[in-house]
Chain A
Amino acid sequence: MSTITGVTAADETPTPTSGSPLGGDAAGTGRLGDRLFGGLATGAGGLVVALVTLIGLFLLWQAIPALAHNEASFLTSREWVVGGDHPRFGIVELLWTTVASSLIAMALAVPVGVGVALFITQYAPRWLSRPAASLVDLLAAVPSIVYGLWGVLTFRAAIRPVEDFLQSTLGWFPLFSKTGITGGTIFFIGIVLAIMVLPIVTALSREVFAQTPVAHKEGALALGATRWEMIRTAVLPFGRPGVISASMLALGRALGETIAVTFIVSTLSPGNPWSWSLFNGGETFASRIANNAAEFDSPQKTGAFIAAGLVLFVLTFVVNAVARIVIERRKAFTE
């Protein structure tokens, strides 16, 4: 029963990302309208590919001259002097703050996010599960600048005692050692980022958990599993790739978050001693760029910040690509 398109209706099962349903080009008649419209659509797709490529190329192109003038090692220096005849700048401190705060965010957001997703799909009474889902989604609708404002004016005071407690009890461990910072610490940035990425983790995990085959769940229960054992043996293994990719997407968002972090961070004065402590201040890539947007007056300076942006771009690119690959593999596995 083949149709004009060569594909029967039965063949197509719409899948989340790929595999378009209709066996397309045969349906085109080759008339002007068709060629024009098809060309436009293809062109739009090409434009997207070109844009991403251009982003990488432009950043690279403008970063290279600045990097060539740099008199310090870009990857290992902690200095950040971008103007003048002898620019010296490196990213090691930015990298540490960015990665450390994002990892703290992950450590908090992933367990809670998965818990919320399990709550919505497995535990919540039916009347509650939809409103609960929209409520968590609402967190994503709050603009990030509001998180920054709330973080610095309200939330900071609530986290201070926790930090003091950790510093006084675990202070012997380098990660928790005492610092004099009273403003935003890496630890605090991590907590705020965790709240911001929570809806991302929850939304995606929720989707995969809801797709767990009923047969798996009923099979586990029929074997006498308690609900928690059913979740551990049926829902979680099925959803694991989804949770991993959700976490990667959230990590990508946390790494690049700008304005909330810019509001919160305590910038360190140049020449401060290096500290592994999570209670130290320090800037992330994004906040360093945003904080100095007014300094973009010479190509040399701009280039230095663009180089920092390039590193951020590469970081998020890798994280997102990994997320994508994990999703793809899951699809190949379930089909």
Chain B
Amino acid sequence: MTTDTRVGSTSPGPVLPALGNPSRSRTIRDQLARVVMWLAFLVAVVPLVWILWTVVSHGAHLLMESQWWTNSQRGITSRRAGGGAVHAIQGTLIQAAVTAVIAVPIAVMTAIYLVEYGRGKFAKAVSFMVDILTGIPSIVAALFIYAVWVTTFGFQRVGFAVSLALVLLMIPVVVRSTEEMLKLVPNELREASYALGVPKWKTIAKVVLPTAFSGIVTGILLGLARVMGETAPLLILGPYTKSIATNLFSGYMPTLPTMINQDRTELGQAAAVERMWGAALTLILLILLLNIAGRLVARFGSVKK
């Protein structure tokens, strides 16, 4: 898309002296703008580097210890060092997996509706609502699930309720990315399939979806990455516990974000702060892994045009 647009400004061209160079003040302004843009970029990169450096330098040594990956925090008070994060990692992964299992079919079917079926007012409404869902703050999604799950049905605050709130946050991400991917599938493929007498639903299931598969997977992984870092629903629906707990339907379930949040009031304690950085680094690594996986899938299996 980018073309070389330097022609006018930087090489005034001695061939046409009549046009002359831009006046001094215009040249200065042009150079100033260039400097400002570079500065804007640098300003944007500073916090990124700063954050990553802080997290890595404070958290890395905890992750080097083997007990971080094998132990839970059971029996360890916030003032004491030691213990691991395996309980929280498990909780985060389990909740993310359950979220994906519920959200993906709904989101992919919605995207199929929008691309392959949707016409007229209803499709517009669906598309609009997906946008609104994209913008819903995670805490509002959590309050909604609380209002349904706890206040209305009288259930306890459990891991599954967290997953339900995360489903609300994951659906719009996956719908949008799947939609884009389905639109990239060339129409000729669909038409070729119809011409052979294949019904529409089989065309979608056997031709369109496989063609767009890698793109859809990328979208799902990126959606998961977003959802795994969410904390607000966990605060409201998924209280922390220091022991390993894998039951989604009863008892508290520890996760990495709540593990960080747990020590929020202990910022004066070195051991607690270390643990927070360690958990933060673990969470970033998990999310980064998903992001990289998503990008790799996108690169090695993109829709052939």
Please indicate the chain A residues that have their CB under 8 angstroms from the CB of B107 in the complex: 44
Interface stretch of the complex, out of B32-40, B60-68, B72-80, B93-101 = B32-40
Complex Cα spacing A54 to B143, Å:
12
Please indicate the chain A residues that have their CB under 8 angstroms from the CB of B55 in the complex: 146, 150
Q: How many residues of A sit at the interface, in one of the four size bands?
A: 35 or more
Question: Does B88 make an interface contact (CB < 8 A)?
Answer: no
Interface stretch of the complex, out of A69-77, A78-86, A226-234, A268-276 = A226-234
Q: Determine if A145 and B280 form an interchain contact, defined as CB atoms under 8 angstroms apart.
A: yes
Complex Cα spacing A55 to B139, Å:
12
Checking B2, B175, B232 against A290 with a beta-carbon cut-off of 8 angstroms, the contacting residue is: B232
Please indicate the chain A residues that have their CB under 8 angstroms from the CB of B191 in the complex: 3-5, 9
Q: Determine if A58 and B119 form an interchain contact, defined as CB atoms under 8 angstroms apart.
A: no
Q: Please count the residue pairs between chain A and chain B whose beta carbons lie under 8 angstroms apart in the complex.
A: 352
Known: A21-B115, A256-B136, A259-B257. A302 touches B146 (CB 8 A): yes
Q: Determine if A43 and B5 form an interchain contact, defined as CB atoms under 8 angstroms apart.
A: no
Give per-residue flags for A114-139: 1 if the beta carbon is below 8 A from chain B beta carbons, else 0: 11101111111010010010011011
Interface residues in A242-264 by Cβ distance below 8 A to B read 249, 252-253, 255-259, 262-263
Please indicate the chain B residues that have their CB under 8 angstroms from the CB of A7 in the complex: 187
Nearest Cβ in chain A — how far from B241, in angstroms? 14
Interface residues in A53-112 by Cβ distance below 8 A to B read 54-55, 58-59, 61-62, 111-112
Known: A38-B200, A143-B284. A293 touches B235 (CB 8 A): yes
Known: A249-B135, A290-B139, A290-B232. A44 touches B151 (CB 8 A): no
Interface residues in B100-157 by Cβ distance below 8 A to A read 105-107, 109-110, 112-119, 122-141, 143-144, 146-148, 150-152
Interface stretch of the complex, out of B46-54, B212-220, B244-252 = B46-54
Question: Does A147 make an interface contact (CB < 8 A)?
Answer: yes
Question: Does A25 make an interface contact (CB < 8 A)?
Answer: yes
Complex Cα spacing A121 to B5, Å:
11
Complex Cα spacing A25 to B240, Å:
50
Q: Determine if B116 and A24 form an interchain contact, defined as CB atoms under 8 angstroms apart.
A: yes
Q: Determine if A259 and B261 form an interchain contact, defined as CB atoms under 8 angstroms apart.
A: yes
Q: Determine if A44 and B141 form an interchain contact, defined as CB atoms under 8 angstroms apart.
A: no
Nearest Cβ in chain A — how far from B304, in angstroms? 16
Q: Determine if B199 and A55 form an interchain contact, defined as CB atoms under 8 angstroms apart.
A: no
Q: Determine if B183 and A14 form an interchain contact, defined as CB atoms under 8 angstroms apart.
A: yes
Complex Cα spacing A263 to B231, Å:
11
Please indicate the chain B residues that have their CB under 8 angstroms from the CB of A305 in the complex: 143
Complex Cα spacing A116 to B143, Å:
36
Nearest Cβ in chain B — how far from A148, in angstroms? 8
Q: Determine if B44 and A12 form an interchain contact, defined as CB atoms under 8 angstroms apart.
A: no
Q: Determine if A154 and B54 form an interchain contact, defined as CB atoms under 8 angstroms apart.
A: yes
Q: Determine if A302 and B151 form an interchain contact, defined as CB atoms under 8 angstroms apart.
A: yes
Complex Cα spacing A231 to B239, Å:
51
Complex Cα spacing A231 to B32, Å:
13
Q: Chain B binding site: helix, strand, loop or mixed by DSSP?
A: helix
Complex Cα spacing A245 to B129, Å:
16
Question: Does B297 make an interface contact (CB < 8 A)?
Answer: no
Q: Determine if A214 and B3 form an interchain contact, defined as CB atoms under 8 angstroms apart.
A: yes
Known: A116-B40, A228-B29. A144 touches B140 (CB 8 A): no
Question: Does A320 make an interface contact (CB < 8 A)?
Answer: yes
Question: Does B264 make an interface contact (CB < 8 A)?
Answer: yes
Complex Cα spacing A219 to B177, Å:
35
Complex Cα spacing A228 to B25, Å:
12
Complex Cα spacing A3 to B195, Å:
9
Interface residues in A1-33 by Cβ distance below 8 A to B read 3-5, 7, 9, 12, 14, 16-18, 20-22, 24-25, 27-29, 31, 33
Question: Does A222 make an interface contact (CB < 8 A)?
Answer: yes
Please indicate the chain B residues that have their CB under 8 angstroms from the CB of A259 in the complex: 231-232, 235, 257, 261
Known: A21-B187, A123-B34. A230 touches B5 (CB 8 A): yes
Known: A3-B194, A31-B199, A145-B280. A45 touches B135 (CB 8 A): no
Q: Determine if A48 and B51 form an interchain contact, defined as CB atoms under 8 angstroms apart.
A: no
CB-defined A-B contacts under 8 Å, sample of 25: A4-B191, A9-B191, A14-B184, A17-B127, A20-B117, A34-B201, A48-B110, A48-B133, A48-B175, A49-B129, A124-B41, A144-B230, A146-B229, A210-B2, A221-B9, A249-B134, A258-B137, A258-B138, A258-B231, A258-B232, A309-B143, A317-B135, A320-B131, A320-B135, A323-B135
